[in-house]
Amino acid sequence: MDIFVKPPRQSAPELTMDNEVIDDADDFEVASTGLEPFSLQLDDIYQGERLDKVLATLLPQFSRARLQQWIEEGWVLVDGKPAKIRTTVLGGENISVEPQAADHDQAFVAEPLDLRIVHEDDALIIVNKPAGLVVHPAAGNWSGTLLNGLLHHSPQLMGVPRAGIVHRLDKDTSGLLVIAKTLKAQTDLVRQLQQRTVSRQYLALVWGQPVSSGRIEAAIGRHPRERTRMAISKSPQAKLAITHYQKVVSGQLDGRTVTLLRCQLETGRTHQIRVHLQSLGFPIVGDAVYGKAHLVSVFPRQALHAERLGLVHPISGTHTEWHAALPADMADLLQQAGMAV
């Protein structure tokens, strides 16, 4: 039986996602044992206690909530019969527990995915991520992520924290990402991100017509009421965020003015471009979270694409840049709006 073991911690700088420091301790629950069945005979000392509490004591590698779930689903038998969570132990019972894999046990499992690799060498992989692909495993998306595909493509990434991922794109944002293939390359890239020397340029189609160019400097933090959203914030926990934008061309979509902007990140906070542009009154077309609800149906995702990525190569020391053309869905959208790009 294959046993999943979380990769060991390594000496590395603090990793960032969109330049936000992530606590490595919050990664994933460690699957510290395999999924072989357990057979237990309860001692009399447990008499009078609840079954789920007793199992949590005898099988500490599993959370009590997880054990309760297995009891409810019939994977725990007492003397050959399905157990109940509130069963009171008498002592001497024979308990059979058949552990079931949790979704997050698959987080670091290699899976074959059709990765759109723009460039690869001994230090880096540059990926053109399609819209709809989640970058990193999290609740609701423990498998089928870019991380899973990277581990299949390059098994050595199992030995690099977060499989070499140092920054991310939202699920429904397309475009370029850099992956470090070695710990040394990852260390170098993290420092470049922290020093703001990595160049990241995006194309965003927004509702309305902003002035020709501008600079947005506004701190971003968690929305005070909706924790899955970000917002402009004056909270002490909010982080400095700076976005530069320049008008490319305007057009008409669904009878309304839309404008294509080229955005340059100076920082890289979660949802930064989406939040900053929405704060000016120019939400991104198709953005179901920060956009206008009655206009979301025009496009099935936020019309945001990471078109250009530049950095200093960790081995050669030379500045290198990559470009990813607009995906077909955004190109078609611009054509509908009468834009020639």
DSSP track, 295-314: GGGGSSS--EEEEEEEEE-T
Where are any strands of DSSP class E within 172-241? 174-180, 199-207, 213-217, 220-222, 230-232
* List 18, 52, 105, 170, catalytic entry: 170
Rounded distance between C-alpha atoms, residue 256 and residue 196, angstroms: 36
Phi-psi region for residue 55, left (φ > 0), alpha (ψ -120 to 50) or beta?
Answer: alpha
End-to-end CA distance of the chain: 54
Contact 187, 194 (CB under 8 A): no
170 has catalytic annotation:
yes
Rounded distance between C-alpha atoms, residue 30 and residue 38, angstroms: 19
Phi, psi of 179 (to 5 degrees): -120, 135
Amino acid at 305: H
Give me the helices (H) in the chain, please.
51-58, 64-72, 146-153, 183-194, 272-279, 328-336
Q: What is the DSSP letter of 296?
A: G
Rounded distance between C-alpha atoms, residue 30 and residue 160, angstroms: 17
Query: Locate tokens 């370029």: which residue?
Result: 176
Catalytic residues: 170
